[in-house]
Structure 1
Amino acid sequence: MPAPRLTGRARLGRALLRPSRTQLIVAVLLALVGFAAVTQIRTTEQDSTYAGLREQDLIDVLNGLAGTTQRTRAEIDRLTSDREDLQSESTQRQAALDRARDEVDNLQVLAGLVPVTGPGIRATITEETGSISVSSMLDVIQELRSVGAEAIQVNGEVRVIAQTSFEERVGGIEVDGTLLEAPYVVDAIGDASTLAGSISFALGPRAEVRKDGGEIEVEELDSLDIDAVREPVQPEYAQPD
């Protein structure tokens, strides 16, 4: 049985419900054209904002923009200068802190508060035919200090500083309250050859030790550990300004 013929209205309805590929392409093109037209209208409206201005108005606008640019550049320059100043101040503060730390480290070494390591000498004083006097021991210590010994210890027990006391006792020498017996081993950190020379020169400490009936042998060392430390002493009367 042949299919019934469709009326024109029916064919139009079917076409709308089932659009062909060509119809879809045409619809997309129409949408793009509409979007372009709207964009052009908006651009034209924006351009017309300045198109209606007088010459003097345009000059004023340009001057305003130029002023804004100058202020922006000035602000950038100011901020750049501030940053450089802060960096410079930070560098100066860091340098000051580094110097302060170095000074503290040096003072701790001189005060005998910390162990130290470095080149130096080991002077061993033995009693051959007599006892070593306090005078001879002090002569050794003072000569080492005078040529730049940075740290000194005796018998690995007592760190010698400016306030160290030496007293003669039966059986030995008392150093800061600690009784030490011969042989006395004096370790000193500094320039090894200079320290050794301060002990051995004519009429120096070696000659004094020999007068007491003793002998002193000096060994130069590339690395020497001084482990004896002192406890910090709090001043009773003196106060910092």
Structure 2
Amino acid sequence: MTEPEESPVHGPETDAGPARRPRRFDRGRLLIGVLCAVLGFAVTAEVRSNDRTTKFATARQDELVGILGDLSQRSERLRGDIRDLENTKSGLERDTQGQTAVEDARRRAATYGMLAGTLPAAGPGIQFTIDDPRGRLRAEDLLDALEELRDAGAEVIQVDDVRVGVSTYFADAASGGVVADGRILTRPYRFLVIGDPHTLVTALGIPGGVLQTLRNSGARGSVAQEQRIVIRAIRSP
């Protein structure tokens, strides 16, 4: 005699149908999600990196050589600053009468006076002239040029008759043109800049730099290297 076949066991039923079993935590799906997130982050980082290096990837060989030379000049200038500071430190350590400290203080006072714009200055540099015959340039264009010169190591700058300082500003004049520190600038705009001439010229001429931006705006920039630039405009202390 055979026993009756047992019917499968079902959970309790409700009016809405059979109850659902709880889902198990799928580790495989979680792992796939994490990998996708990491891959997306890597792709985004790569795209941003490509965007930043586009201008270098499309630059000509002579332009890349110029950029490399500019970086080498800046690196050499920083190494020179380190050597000067080390020499000053050694002199102060050997000094017993305080004379070295006095001379160093005088040198620093003169340097800070030139940087602050309260003293005249002279040295090698460039004359940077911006010709804007149509009057299309705005304050932000001159500010971009100024910032590029500062990034390239410009030590002292004069724009027309205005000595540039840490608080110097450019603004669009209501009647047209550009105002610097409250003074209306005349066209063509002339920058007198003290600093390493080669580095300054290279910085202005890099792909996508100041000179190219000026050409795109209908203006023209010309640069002349000089062994001695004299800046006489000063700022009130």
Normalised-by-shorter TM-score class: 0.5 to 0.7
Consecutive unaligned residues in structure 1, runs of 5 or more: 1-87, 233-241
Cα distance in 2 between the residues matched to 1:187 and 1:231? 19
Amino acid at match of 2:124: P
Alignment pair present for 1:159 and 2:163: yes
Q: Give the structure-2-normalised TM-score.
A: 0.58
Cα distance in 1 between the residues matched to 2:189 and 2:153? 21
Cα distance in 2 between the residues matched to 1:126 and 1:161? 23
- CA-to-partner distance for each residue in 1:56-80, whole Å, 9 max, x for gaps? xxxxxxxxxxxxxxxxxxxxxxxxx
Local SS of the residue matching 1:104: helix
The structure 2 residue matched to 1:95, chosen from 81, 89, 100, is 100
Alignment pair present for 1:121 and 2:126: yes
Cα distance in 1 between the residues matched to 2:96 and 2:227? 41
Cα distance in 2 between the residues matched to 1:101 and 1:227? 20
Local SS of the residue matching 1:213: coil
Cα distance in 2 between the residues matched to 1:206 and 1:136? 11
Amino acid at match of 2:190: V
Cα RMSD (Å) of the superposition? Answer: 1.5
Q: Corresponding residue for 1:38?
A: none
Radius of gyration: which is bigger?
1
Q: Corresponding residue for 1:45?
A: none
Local SS of the residue matching 2:110: helix
**Preserved contact between residue 149 and residue 203 of structure 2 (Cα < 8 Å):** yes
- What are the within-5 Å matches in structure 2 for residues 1-241 of structure 1? 89-90=96-97, 93-155=98-160, 157-169=161-173, 170-232=175-237
Q: Give the structure-1-normalised TM-score.
A: 0.57
Q: Runs (4+) of structure 1 moved beyond 6 Å?
A: none
Local SS of the residue matching 1:89: coil
**Preserved contact between residue 169 and residue 180 of structure 2 (Cα < 8 Å):** yes
Moved more, 128-137 or 142-151: 128-137
**Identical aligned residues as a percent:** 36
Local SS of the residue matching 1:206: helix
Moved more, 180-189 or 165-174: 165-174
**Preserved contact between residue 109 and residue 116 of structure 1 (Cα < 8 Å):** yes
Structure showing the higher helix proportion among its residues: 1
**Preserved contact between residue 140 and residue 170 of structure 2 (Cα < 8 Å):** no
**Preserved contact between residue 144 and residue 195 of structure 1 (Cα < 8 Å):** yes
Consecutive unaligned residues in structure 2, runs of 5 or more: 1-94
- CA-to-partner distance for each residue in 1:166-205, whole Å, 9 max, x for gaps? 1011232110011112100011001001111111111001
